[in-house]
Every structure is written in structure tokens, then in C-alpha cells.
Amino acid sequence: MDHTLFLLFIFPLAGFISSLLISPKNEGALSWVAFTSVALQLLMGSYVFWVWLQGGFIPLSESDWALYRIPGYHFTIALYFDRITAVFLSLGTFLTFMVTIYSRYYLHREDGYKRFFNTILFFFLGYTFTALAGNFETLFIGWEMLGISSFLLIAFYRKRYLPVKNAVKVFSVYRMGDVGLLLAMWMSHHLWHDNIAFSKLVDYNWVDNYIQHHSGVSLFVSLMILLAAAVKSAQFPFSSWLPRAMEGPTPSSAIFYGSLSVHMGAFLLMRTSNMWEHQLTVRLSIGLIGAASAVIATGIARVQSAVKSQIAYASIGQIGLIFIEIALGWQTLALLHFVGNACLRTYQLLTSPSVVTYLIREQQYTDMTHHRTVERFLPRKMAYTIYTLCLKEWNLDSYLYRLLWNPLKWAGRKLDFLNFNRAIWGFVVTYSVGLFCLYNQAYLPSYAISRFIPELCALLGLVLTLKAFTERNRASMSWVMVMMSHFWVVLAIAFNEPFDFGQVHYYLSGVVVSGGIGFLCLRWMRQQANSLDLARFHGHSSHYPKTALLFLLCCLGLSGFPISPTFIGEDVIFTHIHTNQLVLTLFVALTFVVNGLAIIRMYARIFLGSADPTYVNY
């Protein structure tokens, strides 16, 4: 197999990189780069499509490029092009193309013109990665890029508080989906004893054979995939993030939350359907989630008086139906439905400001006195109850928050006795003990090593990261704790299974480098601003954009953003956890998730959310 599919990365990557190099003042060049790179990608896509067509629609797959290779583990970029890829890639490129033309004039003179196009192109690159992914690792890379670009576009108006708050909120919901995907990846390593390429899953009997023998594991993998899909597609019970994501400029909301990003859950399900279509439980779950979302989202959409929220919920309802179609195995219909829904919602969102003119005129010339809706047939008590529930969005927003983050916050608050010095010294002492034990394992009872020491270390990591997440006073303390939690995770794994220290170094080098630079950024920032508490939003990016960017890169590095050493380290770490170690898995996964949250929260609070760093706003 040649490298046809790799060609599809040339233009998105080139576009993104060149857009970074252009001066923010040069609007013309920025939009030209975006326009040209997406237009060329359209041509390139047509070429690949033609190749695929020539081959009689047989899926193309390539998996040559190993990013990282050690015995027993290799991290490979694998690509795959079939009908699903064709549809998602072509519609994605088409809509991105339209939106770049649209935004060229729409964003004119807007503060952040460059940032907007950088982020759109980054999104496009991530989208291409996801759509073309031939294995979970590649998919995860794209998936995370979509997550970060989402965060950046929701917080596009970074001087204002609400967009930033909502961006953090959406990111934290996304993070749950990431856990799902991470765990699915981990389990499938164990299931297939390899990082499985999607192309191999086409063999029905082969897959079926595996699944028959590992029904528990494969159920787990499938449900984790479903979790990731439901989060990304704002399905029940995660729906409430979608309307709150509509904080950026209208075209970015249209392309992200009206069409492309929000359908990625459906994509994930279709892409992995070979893994779960043999399992009735999974199909039922997908169908039920879809049905619940369709019904509930319709109810909420019907009472929305904000136009973008109305479109958001309407879109969730349709994606619910797409989930049902996928569960039933009607993939062609689901693909058609995706295309129709994506175009419809994009257009509706783009024209949403016109709703005032249109509806006011309609109202002026239509006799509305006899206008009634279907709800009039309901008994009064029922109608009012449903109305109230829909008005409150079934409390989805607050429940999600209370169920998931309040326990984390509660736990973190219990650790308030830890101040900076105690934390540092406590860490140095306990970690030295841990290291000593590691090199002198002979003195420890083997029962302890296999049963609870790894868990204990992971728990300490989790505790630190919880503390980092809830820290209100010192940013640098929070940052250091995130770094320390990584060290504990490594220790936990080191106890768990003897493995190559090269891997540890690879992992920790990522942590130390990005962590160290990030720490210096924070120290410097603190000198500039006197105090750097995390109790409010400082908005330092307005005065220190370069520091903000550098710190953002450090954040990505420290939180294990794909292709950063930390990420590969994390992935390696997971291969060293056994399938029966649920507690350890849970601790490690939670640590990674909360770390990501703590870091993004820190970035948001220090650099975003306020017009003037020292301006107190009530």
C-alpha cells in the first residue's frame, strides 16, 4: 500500500502551520491561507475518493508510521478510508470551506482574527485525523485536538467571564468522554494484545471469535466507547453542554456545535460498530440513549426562547435518532441523516440573527390568536409539570455538576491543611520512601506489592491532583501538585510491573520539561501581577499574550496532549495495568482526567475571563 492517505494531511497541516506564522494584522493573508488550504484539501480529497472508487470501494488502510516503538508496545499512526470516512471527510471539508469564506468578512476587524483562523485550522487538522483514523491511538489524537480547539473557540471572547466559564465547563464534560476513550483503548490493548487497526475488525468471524471468549471485556470496551460518543454528541444525560458552547462567533458555533464536532459521537459509533454489533446489550443501550435524547431534547427545544439553544437542542434530538439508526444497523440512513442534519443546523445557525426580522414580520401578518400547540391536549397538571421541567432543562446541567464535580471538590477541600511547604516536604519524604522501597522490593512482602502498594501510590497521585483541582490560593502550588501526581503514577506502575526505565524517562521528561517551563511562567507572572490566586479570573492574556501562549503549550504538555511525550507515556502506562486491576485503573484514569481539568482551570483563571487583570468586577 502506498501513502495516498497520508497526502490528506499535507494541506491541513501546512495550512495550520503557515497560519501561525502570519502577522495578526494581516487579515488578507490569514484568510487566504485558510481558504487555499481547505480548497486544496477539497481537491486532494477528490483525488483520494477517485483512488478509492477505482479500487471498487474497498477500504484503504495504511499503518506504516510508528511514532514510538519498544518491545511489546508500539505507537502507530494508522489510517483508514471507507464509506464512513468518505462521507465525514467530504462533508467536513465542504463545510469548513464554506465557513472559512464566510468568516473572512464576518470576522473582519475582530480582535482575535488570527486566533480564530488558527483554531479553525487546528480543528480541521484534528477533524481530518479523527475521520481518517485507522486505530484508537490515531483517533484519540484527533479527538483531543477537537477538544482543545473547542475549548479555545468557546473561550474566543477570552476577556469576558461567561465564555471562559462555559469553555471550562464544556472541557470538563469532554474530559469524561476522554476517559471513556482512554479506558476503551486500554482494554482493547488487552483484548487484542495489540493496538488494533480498524481494518482488521472487518473480519466478522475473527472478531466474533474474540468476543465470544472475552464477553465481559468487550462489553466494557463497547460501553466506554458509548460513553465517549454520548458525551461528544451531547446525548442524554450530557446534553446541557451544547447550548452553553454557543459563546464564540456564530460561524464557529455553526461548524462546531451545529454540524461537525457534535456528530463525532455518531462517527465513533459507526467506526467501531464491528466491535459492538454482536452485542445486543450494547445495541440496546445505544438505542435507549438515542431515544431518551430525542424525546427530552425535543421537549427542551420546544420551550427554548433563545434561538441558538433551540437549534442546539433540535440538533441533539436528531443525533439521538442517528444513534437509534446506528444501533439498528442502518448505517446508510445514518450517514444520510448526518449529512442532512449537519447542513440544516449549520445554515440555521448562520442565519439565526435573521430570526427577528422573519418572525416579527410573520407575526405581524398572521393572526396568532388561534395558534395552539399539541400540548393543549395534555391535562393541565401534566402540561405545567413538563413545561417546568423543560424550562429547567430537566436539571441536567446542575445534576451533572453536582454528581461529578462536587465530590471532587469536596475531596479536595478536605486537603486544605496542605500548604505549599508541607506539600513539597511531604512529597519529597514519602516519595523517597517510595523510591527506596522500589529498589529494595525484596524487603517488602510480595503480597503488599501485588495487592496494594501500586494502588496506594496511585491514590496519593489522585489526592495530589484533587488538591490541585480545588486549590484557590496559589497557582504555582496547584501546578507543582499536578507534576507530583505524575510522579506517583509512575511509581505505582513501577511497583506494578517491572518495565523499561527508558519508558519512564520518556514519560517523566515530558512532565519535567513542560512542568518546569510552566512553573517558570507562573513565577514570572506572579512577579508581574503580585498575586496569582485561583479564586477568580485574572485575564492576563490581554497584557501578556506570549506568556499565555507559552503557558498553554506547557499545559498541553503536562496534561498529556497527544504526541507530547507525556501522552505516549500515559498510553504506555496503561499497557502495564492488567485487566483485573480495576481499582488501579480507576485511580490512574481519574488522576489523568482531573489533572487535565486542574490544568485547564488554571490556564483559564490566570489568563482568561477578564478584560483587565486587576479590575474587580462585581
225-284 residues in contact with another protein (CB under 8 A) are: 243-244, 246-251, 253
Residue position matching grid coordinates 388561534: 370
Q: Which of 71, 367, 443, 446 binds another protein (CB under 8 A)?
A: 367
CA distance 333 to 325: 7
Question: Exposed, middle or buried, 324 (CB in 10 Å: 0-12/13-18/19+)?
Answer: buried
Q: Which residues contact 231 (CB under 8 A, 6 or more apart)?
A: 173, 174, 176, 177, 180, 238, 265
* Least distance (Å) between residue 297 CB and another protein: 7
* Interface of this chain with another protein, residues 4 to 23, rule: CB under 8 A: none
* Least distance (Å) between residue 281 CB and another protein: 24
Q: Which is nearer to another protein, 161 or 499 (CB)?
A: 161
Q: Which helix (H) or strand (E) holds 61?
A: strand 60-70
Q: Which is nearer to another protein, 205 or 305 (CB)?
A: 305
* Least distance (Å) between residue 339 CB and another protein: 7
CA distance 68 to 76: 7
CA 232, 237, 241, 243 torsion-angle sign = positive
CA 441, 445, 450, 452 torsion-angle sign = negative
Q: Which is nearer to another protein, 406 or 450 (CB)?
A: 406
* Least distance (Å) between residue 338 CB and another protein: 9
* Least distance (Å) between residue 195 CB and another protein: 36
Q: Which is nearer to another protein, 360 or 428 (CB)?
A: 360
CB 226 within 8 A of CB 286: yes
Q: Which residues contact 61 (CB under 8 A, 6 or more apart)?
A: 1, 5, 78, 79, 80, 81, 134, 197, 198, 199
* Interface of this chain with another protein, residues 301 to 360, rule: CB under 8 A: 301-314, 317-318, 320-321, 336-337, 339-344, 346-348, 350-360
Q: Which of 46, 332, 388, 432 binds another protein (CB under 8 A)?
A: 388
Q: Which is nearer to another protein, 34 or 511 (CB)?
A: 34
* Least distance (Å) between residue 341 CB and another protein: 4
CA distance 180 to 201: 20
* Interface of this chain with another protein, residues 556 to 595, rule: CB under 8 A: none
* Interface of this chain with another protein, residues 391 to 410, rule: CB under 8 A: 391-392, 397
Q: Which is nearer to another protein, 211 or 312 (CB)?
A: 312
Specify the stretch interacting with another protein by CB under 8 A; choose among 36-44, 388-396, 481-489, 587-595.
388-396
* Interface of this chain with another protein, residues 147 to 206, rule: CB under 8 A: 156-157, 160, 162-163, 166
Q: Which is nearer to another protein, 442 or 616 (CB)?
A: 616
Q: Which is nearer to another protein, 59 or 112 (CB)?
A: 112
* Least distance (Å) between residue 5 CB and another protein: 26
* Interface of this chain with another protein, residues 86 to 125, rule: CB under 8 A: 94, 98, 101-110
Counting contacts by CB under 8 A, is residue 611 touching another protein? Answer: yes
Q: Which is nearer to another protein, 390 or 489 (CB)?
A: 390
| Phi, then psi, of 511 in degrees rounded to 5 | -60, -45
* Least distance (Å) between residue 530 CB and another protein: 14
CB 508 within 8 A of CB 490: yes
Half-sphere CA count of 611, side-chain side, radius 13 A? 5
Q: Which is nearer to another protein, 248 or 461 (CB)?
A: 248
* Interface of this chain with another protein, residues 496 to 535, rule: CB under 8 A: none
Q: Which is nearer to another protein, 256 or 567 (CB)?
A: 256
* Least distance (Å) between residue 132 CB and another protein: 22
* Least distance (Å) between residue 276 CB and another protein: 24
Q: Which is nearer to another protein, 48 or 311 (CB)?
A: 311
Q: Which of 53, 58, 295, 582 binds another protein (CB under 8 A)?
A: 295
CA distance 382 to 384: 6
Specify the stretch interacting with another protein by CB under 8 A; choose among 138-146, 171-179, 378-386, 506-514.
378-386
Q: Tell me which residue of 537, 606, 602 sits closest to 160, measured CA to CA.
A: 537
- The cell numbers describing 377, all together, are 391536549
* Least distance (Å) between residue 318 CB and another protein: 5
* Least distance (Å) between residue 87 CB and another protein: 13
CA distance 574 to 560: 13
Q: Tell me which residue of 108, 124, 107 sits closest to 37, measured CA to CA.
A: 124
Q: Which is nearer to another protein, 450 or 617 (CB)?
A: 617
- The cell numbers describing 501, all together, are 526505565
Q: Which of 50, 57, 384, 399 binds another protein (CB under 8 A)?
A: 384
CB 241 within 8 A of CB 150: no
Size of the site for another protein (CB under 8 A): 100
Torsion on CA atoms 439, 457, 516, 507, rounded to nearest 10: 70
* Least distance (Å) between residue 402 CB and another protein: 11
3-state secondary structure of 378: coil
CB 129 within 8 A of CB 145: yes
Q: Tell me which residue of 573, 570, 554 sits closest to 562, measured CA to CA.
A: 570
